[in-house]
């Protein structure tokens, strides 16, 4: 997708995450960039396009982000993951992670004033 069409800012980061398949198999990922809607990780052959699973990012023992997700692309350029609706606590930690890594943290909050999706009724 053209970066100009994005409705949520992506921020560069190099943090570890886990993609947990529906059969409970856990695959470690290295996140390249992340937004409030999804992330891009380095290529990983064990994660396939179309899979659904759970994404877990452990920031500290008390701050764990867990998000149901869908793999929208997995190829030699990386693993692109789209986030599904999440619990408020995970969203709070995700928002803080994105704000912390953003060049303009206030812009992240401003983006929340507008829908991230087209044609919502």
Q: What is the pLDDT of residues 23-40, one digit of tens each?
A: 999 999 999 999 999 999
Which tens digit of pLDDT belongs to each residue from 89-112?
999 999 999 999 998 888 888 888
Q: Which domains does the chain have, with CATH numbers?
A: 3-111 (2.40.10.220)
* Burial (0-12, 13-18, 19+ Cβ within 10 Å), 51: middle
pLDDT at 54 over 50: yes
């Amino acid at each position: 997708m053209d970066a100009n069409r994005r409705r949520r800012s992506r921020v560069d980061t190099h943090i570890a995450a886990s993609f947990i398949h529906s059969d409970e198999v856990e695959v470690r990922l290295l996140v390249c960039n992340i937004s409030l809607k999804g992330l891009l990780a380095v290529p990983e052959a064990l994660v396939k396009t179309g899979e659904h699973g759970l994404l877990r990012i452990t920031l500290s023992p008390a701050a764990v982000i867990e998000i149901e997700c869908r793999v929208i692309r997995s190829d030699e350029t990386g693993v692109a993951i789209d986030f599904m609706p999440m619990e408020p606590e995970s969203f709070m930690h995700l928002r803080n992670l994105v704000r912390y890594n953003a060049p303009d943290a206030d812009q992240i909050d401003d983006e929340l004033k507008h829908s991230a999706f087209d044609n919502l009724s």
